[in-house]
Amino acid sequence: MKFNTKVIHGNQQAEPHTGAVNVPVFLTSTFAQESPGKLRAGYEYSRGSNPTRQALEDALASIENGTRGLAFGSGLAATDAVLKLLNPGDEVIAGDDLYGGSYRIFTKLFEKYQLKFKFINFDHPEKLAEAITEKTRLIWVESPTNPLMKLVDIETISRITKEQDILLAVDNTFASPYLQNPLDLGADIVMHSATKYLGGHSDVVAGALVCKEKSLGEQLHFIQFASGGILGPHDSYLVLRGIKTLALRVQRHSENGEKIAQYLSNHPKVGQVFYPGLASHPQHELAKRQMRGFGGMLSFNFKSGAKEDAIHFLEKLKIFTLAESLGGVESLANYPCMMTHASIPEERRLQLGITNDLVRLSVGIEDVEDLLNDLEQALG
Ligand code: P1T
């Protein structure tokens, strides 16, 4: 199947008892057994598995070209499960530009359990070889990154990790499976904040993992079952419903994103625009090779460098909503230094380029003329 078909039919079938074309929301915590241990359809207790969550997990595996999908109560619950594959003393090498909450769970929670994190710039993959030690077990990257839209060459990194028996996990939230499939590029685990493009309507918080290797899938399922960070049946249904229109939505997000990035890059008040679809993006060639489009996420700063300009702009927006999150049908604007990336120490933030005049946009699927007019009046 091709992608537009897969989002609707991939690993999905009509419900076997009634023929319902959509999986019902199985609001049940437990399942009747015929005799101790004799299960009717393999279901025992909904923390282990639930038919609605299973339908979502099968769909996730299909759209990311994996063998096993797992759905969690949030993106961070999915990240938490990956980290629990590791043992005290193990080392993780992560990209230096990351969602603030990922940085927080690494440094504020898992360092306490003796995992060691190194944050490096993946612009030069040879730097990775220098950072790897015999204790390195996991590489964690986002591509594109949140919020600076940097890219990581997944195929090149995966060649290095495979030689050394290190797991490569890619947070594919910003690209979505419509634009990029990290497992096909050699990653071992793909992670999503399904709150974003997969759900697509800003009405659910959810997370996902997909992997190709079956035994890794089993280990992650064991962690999901034993720790309990599962996605409930109703939320599973919402994400499954969102996935059915993923292809159409991301196509429009990308069209609008490209037009808005172009507009901003020509605006006299705008400094830099961070968008992989612009020829000026330092990794534009990699983006063309690794992604099937450039998506609806972008960031920009002001020529003046003034925090006040960013704040006035955000206050004046009418169609773009000032809010955390991204990937929903509606356009959102975010102020990373005080919102999504406030958990990163200021000095580190500024070093990375997450300055006080940086604004991030999640371009929605509205008519682009209305979005451009909104930006024009707010910049004016
Ligand atoms: O919010 P949650 O579903 O737990 O997902 C966390 C997460 C993980 N990875 C990336 C790349 C993310 O962007 C996020 C969540 N991000 C936001 C809420 C945001 O506005 O950036």
Residue by residue, pLDDT tens for the chain (380 residues) are 999 999 999 999 999 889 999 999 999 999 999 999 999 999 999 999 999 999 999 999 999 999 999 999 999 999 999 999 999 999 999 999 999 999 999 999 999 999 999 999 998 888 898 999 999 999 999 999 999 999 999 999 999 999 998 999 999 999 999 999 999 999 999 999 999 999 999 999 999 999 999 999 999 999 999 999 999 999 999 999 999 999 999 999 999 999 999 999 999 999 999 999 999 999 999 999 999 999 999 999 999 999 999 999 999 999 999 999 999 999 999 999 999 999 999 999 999 999 999 999 999 999 999 999 999 999 99
Residues 267 and 240 in one domain: no
Residues 78 and 226 in one domain: yes
Residues 230 and 325 in one domain: no
Residues 180 and 218 in one domain: yes
Residues 42 and 174 in one domain: yes
In ligand 1, the atom with minimum distance to the C-alpha of 205 is: 3
47 in catalytic set: yes
Domain count, the chain: 2
Query: Which CATH number fits the domain that encloses residue 229?
Result: 3.40.640.10
Domain boundary among 191, 216, 244: 244
CA distance 279 to 167: 32
Indicate whether residue 326 lines ligand 1 (CB < 6 A): yes
Whether 307 and 356 have beta carbons less than 8 Å apart is answered as yes
**H or E stretch including 92?**
strand 91-95
Quote the domain boundaries for residue 335.
248-379
Whether 68 and 93 have beta carbons less than 8 Å apart is answered as no
Instruction: Quote the pLDDT of residue 70.
Output: 98
**Nearest-5° Cα angle at 198, 105 to 334:** 60
Instruction: Quote the pLDDT of residue 125.
Output: 80
Residues 148 and 281 in one domain: no
188 in catalytic set: no
Indicate whether residue 256 lines ligand 1 (CB < 6 A): no
Domain boundary among 196, 222, 244: 244
Query: Which CATH number fits the domain that encloses residue 277?
Result: 3.90.1150.10
Q: What is the distance of C-alpha 198 from the center of its chain?
A: 9
Indicate whether residue 325 lines ligand 1 (CB < 6 A): yes
Residues 137 and 8 in one domain: yes
CA distance 377 to 245: 31
Residues 183 and 80 in one domain: yes
Instruction: Quote the pLDDT of residue 300.
Output: 98
Residues 293 and 310 in one domain: yes
Tokens of 346: 């200021």
Residues 91 and 221 in one domain: yes
Amino acid at 191: M
Whether 59 and 12 have beta carbons less than 8 Å apart is answered as yes
Residues 203 and 260 in one domain: no
Contacts of 59 (CB under 8 A, 6+ apart): 7, 10, 11, 12, 69, 240, 243
Residues 91 and 137 in one domain: yes
